[in-house]
Amino acid sequence: MPGNKGVIYEGPGKVEVHEIDYPGFELKDGPGVNPANIGRKLPHAAILKAVATNICGSDQHMVRGRTTAPQGLVLGHEITGEVVETGPGVEFIKKGDLVSVPFNIACGRCRNCKEGNTGICENVNPDRPGSAYGYVDMGGWVGGQAEYVLVPYADWNLLKFPDKDQAMEKILDLAMLADIFPTGFHGCVTAGVGPGSTVYIAGAGPVGLAAAASAHLLGAAVVIVGDLNKERLDQARSFGCETVNVATGEPRDQIEQILGEPEVDCAVDAVGFEARGHGREAEVERPATVLNTLMDVTRAGGALGIPGLYVTGDPGASDEAAKHGSLSIRIGLGWAKSHSFATGQCPVMRYNRRLMQAILHDKVQIAKAVNATAIGLDEAPRGYREFDEGAAKKYVLDPNGMLPKAA
């Protein structure tokens, strides 16, 4: 049995790489594991050798101490890997398959899974619907920023790449299928992005950039990305987006300069609960700013896609209400404009096969759009630090030295 190393959350602002247990076909006790999940047998699971495993902005919320994540949690929910072992209940996934892992853990058996809502599976997290690898309050499934990782319900969850050699040639693009590409695409779909539409995307981090690339794929006429970070705005412009620097003033005024009118057809929140203000308040945390701005700049009858993360518990929030997920949202404005809102985890399996085909057939270059940058597993602490400082990159960890060969 090989050894295993993983990226561990050691408290606010601190991640380290340590030896961890090699996966087995039973969920054991550990940091963050729900007591009701301890001892759960997993004959339907597969063990993967991680080919690529990404650092996500959602991970950063935990590392900043903005959630109730316990010390010792193995991080990581964006996983692409090679199957090295399957449980006795796995029929169709085979050893040697190269696969993408949706960040949602789903059983494929409950009502929500059968209706395509895999982000809110009822059977994998005893506390509430919905689960993910290496994430706080998500059932305690071990994270995938590691050399080896276990994936339950393998036949259901895993997306097999049809041609292994072709997949390795595009592996940095395909690594985005685990989360940010479907998440950005879901934000655009739920916002109603389509041919000829005008779109405002709040946030030029990896999810915002993935949403912008998705908007182009869906046929948008104008894609406008807003952020405080000049390098990230430069990255958005590199593939044809218009940009708004919210540090210089309200998006509404800058959108009018671009479009000749202050409103767009569709809007996407790719920021979430650690939002900051605009203009003079750009350095001040204002967690409802993005949601209120999107209602302000979206035309009456439009829709808001909200893949940006919001939490029920935020110990580092700026006010007492926000610590419990209560924000001062102008719901009256949204009601008056007849807006539609879509929130929650992206149901990755709803989109990942079609997005895989778009990558394999050269319809989109998602790794280039998000500036995917491969680093070694041992470099994860540096990747987290630089990402937190605003690097305009999507860091992809290479736990087993397989990405350079792909390049």
Three-state DSSP state, 36: helix
Provide the residue count of the chain: 407
| Beta sheet of 264-269, edge-to-edge order | 242-245, 222-227, 198-202, 264-269, 298-306, 340-343
Is the same domain home to 142 and 223? no
Identify the residue whose tokens are 């929650």: 344
User: Token pair for residue 239?
Assistant: 């593939």
The whole-number pLDDT of residue 287 equals 82
Please state the pTM of the whole predicted model: 0.96
Nearest to 63 by CA among 12, 100, 134, 110: 12
How do the pLDDT tens digits run along the chain, 407 residues long? 789 999 999 999 999 999 999 999 999 999 999 999 999 999 999 999 999 999 999 999 999 988 889 999 999 999 999 999 999 999 999 999 999 999 999 999 999 999 999 999 999 999 999 999 999 999 999 999 999 999 999 999 999 999 999 999 999 999 999 999 999 999 999 999 999 999 999 999 999 999 999 999 999 999 999 999 999 999 999 999 999 999 999 999 999 999 999 999 999 999 988 888 888 887 887 888 999 999 999 999 999 999 998 888 778 777 888 888 888 899 999 999 999 999 999 999 999 999 999 999 999 999 999 999 999 999 999 999 999 999 999 999 999 999 965 44
DSSP 240: T
User: Token pair for residue 43?
Assistant: 């004959």
Is the same domain home to 168 and 219? no
CA-based R_g, the chain, Å: 20
Nearest to 25 by CA among 42, 49, 47: 42
Domain span at residue 103 reads: 5-179+347-406
Is the same domain home to 250 and 120? no
Distance CA 364, CA 90 (A): 33
Counting the structural domains of the chain, the total is 2
CATH number at residue 315: 3.40.50.720
Q: Which of 325, 343, 361 is the last residue of a domain?
A: 343
Is the same domain home to 132 and 157? yes
What's the distance, CA 315 to chain centroid? 22
Q: Please report how the helices 251-259 and 289-297 are oriented relative to each other, as an axis angle in degrees rounded to 10.
A: 30
pLDDT in tens, 122-148: 999 999 999 999 999 999 999 999 999
Is the same domain home to 188 and 172? no
Is the same domain home to 175 and 185? no
